[in-house]
Amino acid sequence: MNKGKHLAIFIMIAIICPLMTSCFDAKEVDDLGFVIALGLDRGKTNELLMTLQIAKPMASNNGGGGGKEDELPYATFSVEAPTMVSGLNMINTFASKQITLSHIKVVVFSSELARDGLGPYLHALIRGREFRPNMPIVVARNTAEEYLQSVDPKLVLNAAKYYELVYQSYRYTGLIPKVEFHDFYLAAESMCRNPVAILGDASKFESAEEFDIENSTYLEHGRSAPLEGDFLAGDIPAVGGARAENIGIAVFDGDTMVGELDGTDTTYHLLCTGDFVHSYWTIPDPLSEGDYVLFDVKQSRRPQHRVEIVDGKPVIHVTLNLEGDLVSVQSGIDYESGERSLLLESAMESYVKKEVSGYLDKTIREFKSDICGFGAQARGLFLTWAEWEAYQWNKRYKDATYTVNANFKIRRPGLILRSKSSISSESESDEQ
Amino acid sequence: MECEYRVDIKKTIKNLLFFHEPRVERPFILTEVSREGEYGPGLAKAREKPRRKKNENLLLEKIEKAKLTGKKESQADEKAPDISRQLSENLEVIEERFSVPLNGDLIIRKFDIAVKDSVIAAFMVFFDGLVNNKVIDDDILQPLMLLSNLDIRSDGDDLLIYIRSHILPHNQLKEVRTHQEVIDTVFFGGCGIYIDGLDTAFAADVKEFPGRTVERPNTELVIRGPQEGFTESLRANTGLIRKRLMDQNLIAEDIIIGKRSKTPCSILYIRDIANDSLVAEVRRRLKSIEADHIMDTGELEQYIEDNPALPIPQVMATERPDRVCSMLADGRVAIVMHGSPFALVVPITNSDILHSAEDQFLRFPYSNLLRGIRILAILVSLLLPAIFLAITNYHHEMIPTDLLLAILSAREKVPFPSVVEVFLMEISFELIREAGIRIPGPIGPTLGIIGALILGQAAVEANIVSPILIIIVAVTGLGSFAIPNFSTGFAFRILRFGFIILAALSGFLGITAGLMLLGFWMVNSKSFGVPFVSPVAPRAKGGFSDAVFKSPVWNQEKRPDFMNAKKDSKQAEISRGWINRGSSGRQPDGGDRNE
């Protein structure tokens, strides 16, 4: 009997103890407002202008009214506040649901803010446990507010999904860098590399009539016409879909933005860091002036970095290993055959060397910022940490010289085994 | 009074919080036996018994022996012959013991036997309805009354021997010397024959119980494999087992359970495989039961199991003879009871409750697929509602945003917290399930409609629950039906509610704590001396070939080590003789040469 009593009391205590907590932390899903995007601008009246996109529950399909135009998938809130957290507090005063950041998909900074230094905001982001470490960081060339509003809810049915997918496009376009917040933060604090952010902006074109290529960077690259990557965000002559454009890199030195790179240079950046997956490249035909050869380029092996220090100055050796499939030969020359394919490969190699050199030149001379992370290799040259610290890599990077070595192999000619120029009365050859 | 009570609580709390010397108990341990490998002698030599164990074994045997002899003596006192040579005295005793005028179905038939010129009075007693009347008429009454006049050559004068060896042609005839034995036989469908002048009575087995014939088992249906199930009759059941397991060492030991009900049971085991101490323990537990009536193995199970509080069953109840046979072949012990279509098999481990009878008959990839699905079913049935609650209440960041938004919009109009929602649905599901079993057959379909309407559509349309929850509850229900063992299904249904509460209180932390507690509990329990989670903990050799996943049947060479069976291996290292050309078997080389 005594044993039974003990057991009863033990069970009572065991049951009552957890009941005292009474679902202390529990929050029902429908009591929360999930922020999917956060934009930060310099405020007019205060330090910050915060723009929040908060997901609305999907409209229930009863009645089947079809396109309810006023039914947006998210609500936008803006508030001017001294800090990020106080801004959230202020929004909570009028938003009915408690704001939570655990599903945030992107943080957008305006370039004005980025050029002044993101330090104070980065610390708040890394400390807050609600921020996801893998969210991308975007720098809007104009204002973050405009950028977020340009993700047009009418065309983008599910904004959260839009953000999830659009920043993954580096895998198949190579026109935006791979950016994850935790990596951005580490790079900003690091002594051997500097961070980059995705460059984004709302398109400046409303309709096809307004198209121009004034702001294209093709002249800088020494081309007669712009290739697909020769643009900065907002300048692409395109309409339709979301007006927000993401192309190019915002280059940082520490936590301060120092410059912009266009889409083409972004590809070379991905090549140098090893994040490149695959994309289509258009290169000038080595045998036929004015024509282009299209490749589906992959990285066959990660790039090899080697760093020496000669007379106190860094010397960087980069070896790139690429392979590609022929997608299109406009001139109709049969590059599939042995001799010519070697010729094309070497032409591609020298093209890559030249272009990547141009990109490295920019990071060294123009931005003085090691965004490729060559410093990680340089670290190994020092015997003690104190020596490495004393060397001050980030300051010496501007004196660096480099060599670029590229290996390129053509793997497959696509579905055509042998090109033949189309037979017609004119000798003009056509695309195959 | 109140003060006293407070002191008591203080003491109790102290008792709970501070360390005590654990009480020394002597639990049942499955003693190891020296094993001879029937296939390959090397194995038995390699595994040498530690000496200490040996001594322990001896000691245990001694204790066991002492107990047995002691018991025999006491039983001998009970069974002193009490049948009188006077028929009338015997008749009086029988009439008194069977409360004759009250019992309507008891038949006492008086008759005379003509033996060699003399006429001897006799009577027989049996219950109408338990016996085969034709057998009584043809094989007992007719020879005694009519055929005894035949001129039978015999030299002995002993009437008893004369009757037994010449007059009664019935095949199952026992000579008994106590009334009690006669009465027990009569209750088990026999008839007792008393003859004047003999202090011995005959107990003839003429039983024919009303009951089912052998049918398909109801709970453990298989597609591939035998389709016979046990019935309610003991001998038919042991017959079904013997029919499959034609092993001369298969023992069916009889034992009577229930002080008043005197239900006959059989302990079945294979003598040279099953561990002796295990058989002795089963016998000891069964014999020790002091209860008036035990009607079914479902009751019996509760008397002999090790941990009554553990939700998961520690005794396997099965309706299938083939299942019992294969478990007997592993060195386990089965208990069959008169009146129950379920046999009990001990000991079992937690992996046995994952197995279905069909696993054995399917090729190993197929049964592994089924095993995988069953593990999933158990996880789903145990944890799915709890995980749903934990995620929607505590860990919103864990699910994809789209799913979160879908849940959010589904819950938008629901007025209850999600815990209430889950409980509401789980309880109504349990209601439907219970009602479905109790509902009379012809109106069964109505229930389906009500269930589908209430749970499916109406609850969602009335915004009482969210549609996602319906999916959760439905999948959970499916999961619990996919668990092959009926009792285990119950266990996980109960535990599920525990996990829901834990998840509601503290999310994944609670679920983790619950899983840990359940794990401790299971690791701590034993089924007839076998740790419940072996071969995983404690680690045992040889149990893995058919524990969670199954290896091909020709690869299952060893009996599970934790069973401590007398024979270690159940097939040769290379059981498929034909894969070795020129080894045993047909010697294909020689055949080739002849050609």
List, for residues B383-404, the tens digit of each pLDDT value: 999 999 999 999 988 888 888 8
**What pLDDT, on a 0 to 100 scale, did the predictor assign at position B465?**
86
Strand boundaries in A56-100, DSSP class E: 74-81, 98-100
- Tokens encoding A189: 């604090």
Considering its fold, how many domains does chain A have in total?
Answer: 2
Burial class (CB in 10 A: 0-12, 13-18, 19+), B164: middle
Tell me what pLDDT residue B62 has. Answer: 59
In A, minimum Cα distance to B391 occurs at A29
Better pLDDT: B441 or B493: B493
Q: Give A255 to chain B, closest Cα distance, Å.
A: 28
Between A397 and B99, the higher pLDDT residue: A397
Within a domain: residue A19? no
Do B405 and B434 fall into the same domain? yes
Same domain for B378 and B337, yes or no, is no
CATH of the domain at A364: 3.30.300.210
Is residue A2 situated within a structural domain?
Answer: no
Do the domain assignments include residue A12? no
Q: Which of A9-18, B457-466, B517-526 has the lowest mean pLDDT?
A: A9-18
Residue B97's domain spans which residues?
A: 87-205
Of A23, A26, A57, the CB nearest to B405: A57
Structure tokens at B359: 């696993």
CB contact under 8 A, B507 and A25: yes
Q: Answer whether B396 sits within 8 Å of A10, measured CB to CB.
A: no
Per-residue pLDDT tens over the stretch B250-271:
999 999 998 888 899 999 999 9
Asked if residue B188 and residue B260 are part of one domain, the reply reads: no
* A160 with B402: Cβ contact below 8 A: yes
> What is the pLDDT at residue B168?
81
Above 60 in pLDDT, residue B296?
Answer: yes
Is residue B291 included in any domain, yes or no?
yes
A35 and A79 housed in the same domain: yes
How far is residue B352's CA from residue B332's CA, in Å, rounded to a whole number? 12
Which residues on A lie below 8 Å from B397 (Cβ)?
A: 102-103, 130, 132
Statement to judge: residues A304 and A209 lie in one domain = no
Q: Are residues A191 and A285 in the same domain?
A: no
* Token reading at A259: 């410059």
Residues A145, A215: one domain? yes
User: Could you tell me the two tokens for B494?
Assistant: 């109960």
Contacts of A103 in chain B (CB under 8 A): 396-397, 401, 404
Q: Environment class of residue A284 by beta-carbon count within 10 Å: exposed (0-12), middle (13-18) or buried (19+)?
A: middle
Residues B587, B595: Cα–Cα separation, whole Å: 13
Domain count, chain B: 3
Are B394 and B486 in the same domain?
yes
Nearest CA among A95, A105, A200, A88 for reference residue A144? A200
Task: Examine the domain organization and report whether A333 and A255 are in the same domain.
Answer: no
Instruction: State residue B54's pLDDT score.
Output: 47
B551-563 residue pLDDT tens = 888 888 888 888 8
- Assess if residue B201 is contained within a domain: yes
Q: Same domain for B520 and B419?
A: yes
Q: What distance in Å separates the CA atoms of residue A124 and residue A146, rounded to the nearest whole number?
A: 23
Tell whether B174 is covered by a domain. Answer: yes
Q: Kindly state the helix (H) or strand (E) to which residue A46 belongs, with its residue range.
A: none
* Dihedral over alpha carbons B232, B235, B238, B240 (to 10 degrees): -70
Tell which of A276, A293, A320 closes a domain. Answer: A276
Please tell me whether residues B392 and B513 are part of one structural domain. Answer: yes
Cβ distance of B412 and A23 shorter than 8 Å: no
How many whole angstroms separate alpha carbon A213 and alpha carbon B444? 75
B368 plus B469 within the same structural domain: yes
- In angstroms, the Cα distances linking B482 to B273, B298, B489 are 33, 22, 8
Considering A220, A255, A276, which residue would you say is the last residue of a domain?
A276
Q: Which residues of A touch B401 (CB under 8 A)?
A: 34, 36, 55, 103, 105, 160-161, 164
B402 touches chain A (CB under 8 A): yes
Buried b (16+ CB within 10 A) or exposed e, B92-126: ebbeeebeeeeeeebbeeeeebebeeeebebbbbb
Give pLDDT, residue A351.
93
pLDDT bracket for residue B593 (50, 70, 90) = very low
Task: Verify that A131 and A153 share a domain, yes or no.
Answer: yes
Q: Which amino acid is at A238?
A: A
Task: For residue A363, give its domain range.
Answer: 280-432
Residue A302 lies in a domain: yes
pLDDT at A426: 56
B418 lies within 8 A of chain A by CB: yes
Q: Looking at B316, B348, B380, which one is the last position of a domain?
A: B348
Query: How far is the alpha carbon of A12 from chain B, nearest alpha carbon, in Å?
Result: 12
Residue A211 at interface with chain B, using a CB cutoff of 8 Å = no
Same-domain pairing of B371 and B327: no
Angle at B397 between CA B392 and CA B400, to 5 degrees: 90
Residue at token pair 């404690």: B538
Within a domain: B595: no
Token pair 């087992």: residue: B241
The answer to whether residues A219 and A286 belong to one domain is no
**Residue A385 within any structural domain of the chain:** yes
Mapped onto helix, strand or coil, the DSSP state of residue A326 is: strand
Claim to verify: residue B337 and residue B374 sit in the same structural domain:
no
Segment among A414-428, B64-78, B130-144 with least mean pLDDT: B64-78
What sign does the CA torsion over A221, A223, A228, A230 have?
Answer: positive
**Residue A124 sits in the same domain as residue A149:** yes
Q: Tell whether B252 is covered by a domain.
A: yes
Is position B568 within any domain?
no
Question: Is A27 part of the contact surface with chain B (CB cutoff 8 Å)?
Answer: yes
* Domain match, A96 and A188 both: yes
* Helices B467-481/B401-411 angle, 10° precision: 110
Q: Are residues A271 and A207 in the same domain?
A: yes
Q: Which residue of A has its CA nearest to B411?
A: A30
Q: If you measure CA to CA, which chain B residue comes closest to A17?
A: B505
Q: Which of B15, B404, B510 sits opposite A6 (nearest CB)?
A: B15
Amino acid at B285: R
Helix (H, G, I), strand (E, B) or coil at B426: helix
Q: Which positions in chain A touch B5 (Cβ < 8 Å)? A: none
Closest CB to B411: pick one of A9, A29, A59: A29
Which residues, in sequence order, are CB contacts of B334 under 8 Å at separation 6+? Answer: B241, B267, B268, B269, B324, B327, B328, B343, B344, B345
Give the least confident one: B273-282, B491-500, B583-592: B583-592
One domain, residues B480 and B513: yes
Among chain A residues, the shortest Cα distance to B504 is held by A23
Among residues A276, A297, A323, which one ends one of the domains?
A: A276
Q: Does A34 touch chain B (CB under 8 A)?
A: yes
Name the domain boundary from B486, B508, B530. B530
Tell whether B320 and B442 lie within a shared domain: no
Q: What pLDDT score was predicted for residue B6?
A: 60
Residues B270 and B409 placed together within one structural domain of the fold: no
Amino acid code (one letter) for B307 = N
Nearest CA-CA distance, residue A123 and chain B, Å: 21
Q: How far apart are CA B291 and CA B282, in angstroms?
A: 17
In a shared domain, residues A290 and A308: yes
pLDDT bucket at B49, cuts 50 / 70 / 90: very low
Q: How far is CA B492 from the centre of its chain?
A: 20
Mean pLDDT throughout B81-107?
Answer: 85
pLDDT at A275: 92
The answer to whether B356 touches B377, Cβ cutoff 8 Å, is: no
Q: Which of B13, B417, B505 sits opposite A28 (nearest CB)?
A: B417
Mean pLDDT of B20-47: 64
Q: How many CB atoms lie within 10 A of CB B422?
A: 25
Please report residues of A whose CB lies closer than 8 A to that of B11: none
Q: Is residue B136 part of a domain?
A: yes
Cβ–Cβ contact A5 with B under 8 A: yes
Of B15, B414, B505, the CB nearest to A23: B505
Instruction: Tally the residues of chain B.
Output: 595
Alpha helices in B128-187 (DSSP H): 133-135, 142-145, 159-162, 179-187
Contact B220, B484 (CB under 8 A): yes
B59 inside domain: no
How many C-beta neighbours within 10 Å does residue B20 have? 7
**Subunit contact B405:A60, Cβ cutoff 8 A:** no
- B309 in A contact zone (CB under 8 Å): no
Residue in B15, B392, B402 closest to A28 by CB: B392
Average the pLDDT over B485-497 and give the result. Answer: 90
Q: How far apart are CA B356 and CA B546, in angstroms?
A: 12
Contact list in A for residue B414 (CB cut-off 8 A) is 30
Q: B401–A103: do the CB atoms touch at under 8 Å?
A: yes
d(CA A54, CA A159): 10
Q: Say whether the peptide bond before residue B535 is cis (omega within 30 degrees of 0).
A: yes
Kind and range of the H or E run holding B267: strand B263-270
A342 shares its domain with A201? no
Alpha carbons within 13 A on the beta-carbon side of B417: 12
User: Position B141: which residue type?
Assistant: L
Q: Whole-angstrom Cα distance, residue A335 to residue A286?
A: 11
Would you call A292 helix, strand, or coil by DSSP? strand
- Which of A90-104, B65-79, B507-521 is the least confident region? B65-79
Nearest residue of B to residue A158 by CA position? B402
Regions of chain A short of the pLDDT cut 50: 60-69, 428-432
Q: Which of B478, B496, B530 is the last residue of a domain?
A: B530
Residue of A nearest to B14 (CA): A6
